[in-house]
Amino acid sequence: MGYLDIPFMKPFILWMTGLPCSGKTTIVKDLQKDIPNLAMLDGDELREWFSPKDFSKAGRDEHNKKVAHLAKLLLNHGVPSVVSLVSPYIENRENAREIINAGEQFAECYVKCSLEKCEERDVKGMYAKARKGEIKGFTGIDDPYEAPEKADLVIDTEHDSLSDSANKVKDFLKERNLL
């Protein structure tokens, strides 16, 4: 597909939040198959560069702000982006919305999945390590996850297939005239 073959789309930021292993990154990778030039800002990858090993509340707050500023930069350059970040606190997500300040071009997506199901999906063994005390401040175990009360979109990955979840995101973006 050449540059001129890419359909016009407005840039957007989709801020995906949910427990670790809820399916955020998996959904984004599926979306990248159908949405040209979709940037993924993945929390695990970004943490290595921006905020290694600081999982304190202050560290998480700072990390979320850095990612929000990066997302805003991409938006300002016309790049559609999906942030795949636990963003455990309501305040984190409100700050991101304020920093990005993009109106309808910003949407918070709650990737809903039970703690039990997330633990089942955990191929890295993070939850088991957290339960043994080997990882401190792990979201959902010994650090809270504040589920969104007013998310723009809710995806239930415990009950919906990957294809259905990705299609819900695409339908939502089309409803907002972003795709």
Rounded to whole angstroms, the Cα distance separating 123 from 69 reads 30
Please give the sequence-ordered ranges of beta strands (E in DSSP) within the chain, or none if there are none: 13-17, 39-42, 81-84, 106-112, 153-156
Contact 112, 94 (CB under 8 A): no
Q: Which residues are catalytic?
A: 87
Helix (H/G/I), strand (E/B), else coil: 134: coil
